[in-house]
Amino acid sequence: MPMKPLNKVKIKWSPEFAYAIGLLVTDGNLSPDGRHFDFTSQDKEQLLNFMKCLGIKVKIGYKISGYTGKRSTHIQFGDVNFYKFLFQIGLMPAKTKIISKIDIPENYFFDFLRGHHDGDGTFFSYWDPRWKSSFMFYTVFISASKKHIDWIRNKLFKLLRIKGHITRDSKKSVYQLKYAKTESLKLLPKMYYNSKVICLSRKRFKIEKALKIAHKTL
């Protein structure tokens, strides 16, 4: 009698599950073997959050990037059923430049997006010298796949009527979807809809610090 595949991940949509999918889309890697995953981050907190959201516990290892020389934390695990599920919703091996739409239930989209932003996104702010007391900030999503970044942009326009703009970083061969101050003020409260949502704490702190300068809150 064939052995039943071991289910390590409970496949059930929730805010935490959707957040983990967002992290996997940006920082995860699916092996071609149809079973194994690698998840890498320079933030150990990110790995701990990822495991917590999926209800798994595996040993954290370390590896050195061949591009930057920086040391990152990473985990590896295998789960055939979870792999099949991810493939069904739009993930695949060697996904970086070919990933497109991800099939996320709409009521969990902003949890997914928060995970996506914690994985590969950025947030920056500055005082604009062109105008007195002009404080600007941008929320940025990053992907090497134009189809994927277009999908996020179209989804956010549908849900929030915000347009953003896309630029291409030719040095890194990635696309950046940027939302300036006015649109960020519509977007960020949707991503951080309460004080307890799971997230990368340093990134939330950075956002809250900028909003405080602008006399705004999440």
Encode pLDDT of 89-136 as tens digits: 999 998 988 999 999 999 999 999 999 999 999 999 999 877 777 899
Q: What is the mean pLDDT of the chain?
A: 93
Q: Does 3 score more than 50 pLDDT?
A: no
- Predicted confidence band at 175 (pLDDT cuts at 50, 70, 90)? very high
Q: Does 67 score more than 70 pLDDT?
A: no
Domain 117-213: top CATH class: alpha beta
Domain 15-101: top CATH class: alpha beta
Cα–Cα separations (whole angstroms), residue 118 to 45, 158, 210: 11, 22, 17
Provide the residue type at 160 as one letter: L
Q: Does 7 score more than 80 pLDDT?
A: no
Q: Does 214 score more than 50 pLDDT?
A: yes
> How far is it, in rounded angstroms, from Cα 82 to Cα 6?
10
Encode pLDDT of 34-61 as tens digits: 999 999 999 999 999 999 999 999 999 9
Q: Is 53 strand, coil or helix?
A: helix
The helix (run of H) or strand (run of E) holding residue 160 is helix 146-160
Does the pTM surpass 0.95? The reply is no
Q: Which residue has the higher pLDDT, 138 or 7?
A: 138
Q: Does 4 score more than 70 pLDDT?
A: no
Residue 156 corresponds to which tokens in the numbers above?
A: 């956010």
Locus of tokens 């599950």: 17
Could you tell me where in the chain the CATH 3.10.28.10 domains are found?
Answer: 15-101, 117-213
Q: Which of 5-9, 28-32, 161-165, 168-172 has the lowest mean pLDDT?
A: 5-9
DSSP E strand boundaries for the chain: 28-30, 36-41, 61-64, 71-78, 122-127, 135-143, 165-169, 174-179
